[in-house]
């Protein structure tokens, strides 16, 4: 396993990493925890969707701890921006026991302590501490290669005077208005929906229901679950949804796809790991393709924005944080936050207005439309539908 030696991390981060790893080792020293981990390993899918053997097969609890230890100071490069993220998904690929171990399993360090989701709680601490590391100057090691990479299109973005101060500052970079790098299509035609982010777009072939119906073979997404019981959940029953998947090299701010007013927006805590159908989600040619079971995102850390349009009903924007995403930050529009708690006055928004941004990691937006409002993803001649990669 490749590691970033913790000696290379500044003392503050070194101490934080050491403290985190001590805590994890204490948790997994409990025979009950190790038994649950071993059960997860026993159910690791031996062969990946690529046909390669699964590197997690047969690995001990020490490997689990060492993986996080090496992950803490890992710095992504343009050729492998997902870095430690994708190999970790191999642990829970088609593996409900691993999903349970990471997100639901309860244990306790000592008999006088209550049972809690110690492993999940620890991973949240890890993700937030790693986010602090990605906010530090120590995270700049490969920043020049990111800036020089043609796929970054750095001329589209504002580069702070003196350069970026951290990887996350680069990752959350802002568009340069003078370059007009993302012109909004038909800004005065409210019927035109625009992309909410730089992303790969896929139609979600799942039925939008108010609650998950049992004994139905088709895939479903419960609006009550996804929108956490919002009064607007019922508006999307029978409607359509698309996914806008952001990869690590993408611009990571997300924008309003339509003009209207934000009537409600809420951040919802949840899990960070657990996309089990990796052969669909991480298909290099079609990330998050429609055969992905999107109902899993009812459990993920996310937010939602409900936008009321003039003639086209409600449109939902659901930014979802994945893996090492620990922050979903709202933006400001005319000095008003885009985060509008239930019952607060609505905030007017024009398509293309920035709603918020993610910190480092994988992420996506799910766009929701009412029944009959949106039927297909379509483009006009001459508009971008993607980019080519050079053949080796």
| pLDDT for residue 30 is more than 80 | yes
Strands 260-268 and 328-330: unpaired
Beta bridge partners of 367: 242, 317
| Coil vs helix vs strand at 17 | helix
| Coil vs helix vs strand at 58 | coil
CB-based contact 171:198 (threshold 8 Å) = no
Instruction: List own/partner pairs for 374-380 with CB under 8 A and 24 or more apart.
Output: 374/193, 374/239, 374/240, 375/240, 376/203, 377/201, 377/203, 377/242
Q: How far apart are CA 288 and CA 299, in angstroms?
A: 17
pTM of the entire structure? 0.92
Q: What is the pLDDT of residues 343-366, one digit of tens each?
A: 999 999 999 999 999 887 668 999
**pLDDT band, residue 49 (cuts 50/70/90):** confident
Q: What is the pLDDT of residues 209-247, one digit of tens each?
A: 999 876 655 789 999 999 999 999 999 999 999 999 988
Residues 6+ apart with CB under 8 A from 9: 17, 72, 73, 133, 138
| Exposure string over 243-260, b if 16+ CB within 10 A, otherwise e | bbbbbbbbbbbbbbbbbb
User: Which segments of the chain does DSSP mark as H helices, in order?
Assistant: 11-28, 31-42, 61-71, 85-92, 96-103, 118-134, 143-148, 167-171, 223-226, 278-281
Q: In the chain, where are the structural domains located?
A: 6-140, 185-369
Q: What is the pLDDT of residues 85-130, one digit of tens each?
A: 889 999 999 999 999 999 999 999 888 989 999 999 999 999 989 9
- Average pLDDT on 336-343 reads 96
Q: How is the chain split among helix, strand and coil, in percent rounded to 5?
A: 30, 20, 50
Closest-CA residue to 62 (of 91, 25, 100): 25
Position 249 scores a pLDDT of 79
Q: What is the pLDDT of residues 267-307, one digit of tens each?
A: 999 998 888 887 777 666 677 777 788 998 999 999 999 99
| pLDDT for residue 4 is more than 50 | no
Position 388 scores a pLDDT of 82
Q: How far apart are CA 123 and CA 377, in angstroms?
A: 37
Which two tokens mark 70?
A: 């090496």
Average pLDDT score, the chain: 90
């Amino acid at each position: 396993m490749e590691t970033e030696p913790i000696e290379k991390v500044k003392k503050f981060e070194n101490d934080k990493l050491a403290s985190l790893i001590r805590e994890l080792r204490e948790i997994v020293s409990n025979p009950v925890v190790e038994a649950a981990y071993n059960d997860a390993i026993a159910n690791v899918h031996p062969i990946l969707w690529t046909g390669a053997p699964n590197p997690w097969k047969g690995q001990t609890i020490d490997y689990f701890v060492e993986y996080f230890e090496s992950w803490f100071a890992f710095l992504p490069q343009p050729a492998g921006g997902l870095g430690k993220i994708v190999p970790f998904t191999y642990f829970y690929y088609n593996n409900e026991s691993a999903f349970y171990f990471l997100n639901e399993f309860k244990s306790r360090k000592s008999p006088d302590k209550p049972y809690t989701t110690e492993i999940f709680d620890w991973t949240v601490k890890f993700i937030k501490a790693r986010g602090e590391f990605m906010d530090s100057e120590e995270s700049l090691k490969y920043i020049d290669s990111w800036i020089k990479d043609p796929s970054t299109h750095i001329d589209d973005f504002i580069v702070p005077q003196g350069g970026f101060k951290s990887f996350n500052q680069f990752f959350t970079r802002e568009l340069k208005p003078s370059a007009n790098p993302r012109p909004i299509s038909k800004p005065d035609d409210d019927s035109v929906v625009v992309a909410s982010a730089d992303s790969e777009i896929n139609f979600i072939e799942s039925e939008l229901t108010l609650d998950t119906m049992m004994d139905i073979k088709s895939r479903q997404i419960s609006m009550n679950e996804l929108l956490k019981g919002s009064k607007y959940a019922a508006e999307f029953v029978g409607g359509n949804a698309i996914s806008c998947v952001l990869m690590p090299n993408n611009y990571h701010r997300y924008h309003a796809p339509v003009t209207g007013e934000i009537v409600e927006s809420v951040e919802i805590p949840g899990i960070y790991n657990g996309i089990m159908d990796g052969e669909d989600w991480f298909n290099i040619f079609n990330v998050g393709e429609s055969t992905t079971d999107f109902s899993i995102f009812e459990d993920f850390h996310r937010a939602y924005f409900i936008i009321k349009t003039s003639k086209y009903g409600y449109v939902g924007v659901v930014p979802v944080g994945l893996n090492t995403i620990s922050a979903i930050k709202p933006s400001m529009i005319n000095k008003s936050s885009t985060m509008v708690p239930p019952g607060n006055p609505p905030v007017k928004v024009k398509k293309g207005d920035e709603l918020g941004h993610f910190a480092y990691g994988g992420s996506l937006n799910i766009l929701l439309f009412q029944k009959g409002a949106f039927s297909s993803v379509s483009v006009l001649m001459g508009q971008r539908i993607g980019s080519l990669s050079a053949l080796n």
